[in-house]
Amino acid sequence: MVDLLTDLDDLRPAGGKRSGKRELILEVFLRQEGHLSAEDLVDLSRREDQRISRATVYRTLQWMVEAGIARKVDFGEGRFRFEHSYRHPRHFHLICKVCNRSSEFLSSDIEVLIEEIAAARSFSANQSVLQIYGTCEQCRTGRPPTVDGGTTELLFARDALRIAIATERSGLEFYSRASKSARDTRACAVFERLANEERDHLAKLESRYEKLLAKDPQLEARPTFLFFKGAANGLFAAGAEQVARGITDSQALVVAMKCERTSYRFFKRYGEKFEDSEGKQIFLEVADEERSHLDLLIREARVTSRRRNARPRRQPAGRVRRAQA
């Protein structure tokens, strides 16, 4: 909440007048977590200033939706609710029809499918809403949940760090194996350098993860928010297995470039999709590192190619003897 209101002037629509009541309503809204109804926001705002009218709250909510600060969601209760969209990632909802509670998640696979469907129909999509209705575990079994959902932004940062850490660990394993199996001195040095960089970055990410956990003692136990199929074991896991089975230095270099390119595109693509948040920053930071590794590997591949082409070709023995004769 500390820095959320510092961008208020940027969020205010062009030509909009400064309004103390509207800014107070905005501040109250941004302090809350979860999904508020308009009446919830009226009650909360009036605790701060009794003079705030219901009409002012409704107008402010409409302005926040148009300005991209809030999203309007429908949980089938017969009324709309509102949630943060400023510095909160776009996400989907699981909604219990018995208790009306909702839980949030984000899935790259669903995002990709929506994009593919829209492209196939030549449809320009600017907003997607997915709400899955059913029965939650508590209503189905009578057992209360072990831990509730928690703050979306913290969950997003936690899961982004988990994916980044898994990728760095798999990258460290790949380059450590490649450096040990390399026969060429130059290739060994390159793989060792990248292994050291992966190790350093992994240590920083793990330290960042511990600091994040300190903000919420139950953060690790909270439900997964960010789902990425195939990323749980790290984006270099398959490459590390190839090295373990035995490949040449040139093959290891090709596999390394493929892994780095895949990782860079993955973190860059989704980092750019996410709205401003710590999770977005984590994805883009990893993308930058993967891009620098890919550039290094491309340069090394070019050097290797030039060295190979510069080697004199050995002539067949018979041809050598005829030339000498």
Name the domain boundary from 86, 106, 132. Answer: 86
Identify the CA nearest to 71 among candidates 61, 79, 60: 61
Same domain, 181 and 300: yes
Q: Is the pLDDT of residue 141 over 80?
A: yes
Whole-number CA gyration radius for the chain: 27
d(CA 13, CA 283): 30
Q: Domain with 42 in it: what CATH number?
A: 1.10.10.10
In this structure, is residue 179 part of a structural domain? yes
Query: C-alpha distances in angstroms, 268 versus 129, 161, 283?
Result: 23, 15, 7
Structural domain span for residue 173: 152-310
Strands 92-96, 131-134: pairing kind: parallel
Output the CA torsion sign for 135, 138, 143, 146. positive
Is the pLDDT higher at 86 or at 54?
54
In this structure, is residue 47 part of a structural domain? yes
- pLDDT at residue 1 in the model: 41
Q: What angle do CA 61, 108, 76 make, to 5 degrees?
A: 40
Q: Domain with 221 in it: what CATH number?
A: 1.20.1260.10
The tally of domains found in the chain comes to 2
Same domain, 196 and 305: yes
Q: What angle do CA 4, 152, 85 make, to 5 degrees?
A: 50
In this structure, is residue 180 part of a structural domain? yes
Same domain, 158 and 300: yes
- pLDDT at residue 121 in the model: 92
pLDDT tens per residue, range 74-118: 777 778 888 877 656 667 888 888 887 888 888 877 877 888 899
Identify the CA nearest to 138 among candidates 106, 104, 103: 103
The identity of residue 76, as a single letter, is G
65: left (phi over 0), alpha (psi -120 to 50) or beta: alpha
Same domain, 156 and 302: yes
210 with 197: CB under 8 angstroms?
A: no
In this structure, is residue 110 part of a structural domain? no
- The average pLDDT across 53-71 equals 88
- The average pLDDT across 34-52 equals 89
In this structure, is residue 145 part of a structural domain? no
- pLDDT at residue 159 in the model: 93
Q: Is the pLDDT of residue 239 over 60?
A: yes
- pLDDT at residue 317 in the model: 56
d(CA 97, CA 76): 8
Same domain, 213 and 297: yes
Same domain, 36 and 158: no
- pLDDT at residue 2 in the model: 37
Strands 70-74, 80-84: pairing kind: antiparallel
Name the domain boundary from 36, 53, 86. Answer: 86
Same domain, 158 and 283: yes
3-state secondary structure (DSSP) of residue 69: coil
Name the domain boundary from 52, 67, 86. Answer: 86
Same domain, 294 and 171: yes
Query: C-alpha distances in angstroms, 47 versus 24, 59, 149?
Result: 11, 18, 26
Residue 145, token pair as written in the block:
């949940």
Q: Name residue 134's beta-bridge partners.
A: 96
Same domain, 189 and 289: yes
Q: How confident is the model at residue 319 (pLDDT cuts 50, 70, 90)?
A: low
H or E element that contains 305: helix 278-310
Average pLDDT, the chain: 84
Is the pLDDT higher at 323 or at 245?
245
Same domain, 160 and 269: yes
pLDDT tens per residue, range 253-270: 999 999 999 999 999 988
Same domain, 190 and 306: yes
